[in-house]
Homo-oligomer: A and B are copies of this chain.
Amino acid sequence: MSLLEQLIDALRVLPGVGQKSAQRMAYHVLGRGREGGARLATALAEAVEKIGHCARCRDFSETPVCPTCASASRDAQTLCAVETPADRLAIEQATGYRGFYFVLQGRLSPLDGIGPRELGLDLLAARLAEGEVRELIIATNPTVEGEATAHYLAQIARQHGVRPSRPAHGLPLGGELEFVDRGTLSHAFGSRSEVE
Contacts and interface: CB of A to CB of B under 8 A. Distances in A.
Interface in A41-85: 41-51, 60, 62, 84-85
Given A14-B29, A15-B28, A25-B15, A3 B46 contact: yes
A86 interface: yes
A58 to B, nearest CB: 11
A104 to B, nearest CB: 12
Taking the full assembly, how many copies of this chain does it contain? 2
B60 A24 contact: no
B10 A30 contact: no
Contacts of A2: 62
Contacts of A4: 47, 51, 60, 62
Contacts of A16: 21, 24-25
A29 B3 contact: no
Q: What range describes how many residues of A lie at the interface?
A: 35 or more
Interface in A1-48: 2-4, 6-7, 9-11, 13-16, 21, 23-31, 33-34, 36-48
Nearest to A50: B3
Which one of A3, A37, A48, A89 has the highest number of Cβ atoms from chain B below 10 Å of its Cβ? A48
Contacts of A60: 4, 27, 30
A25 B16 CA distance: 9
A36 B15 CA distance: 11
Interface of A: 2-4, 6-7, 9-11, 13-16, 21, 23-31, 33-34, 36-51, 60, 62, 84-86, 89, 105
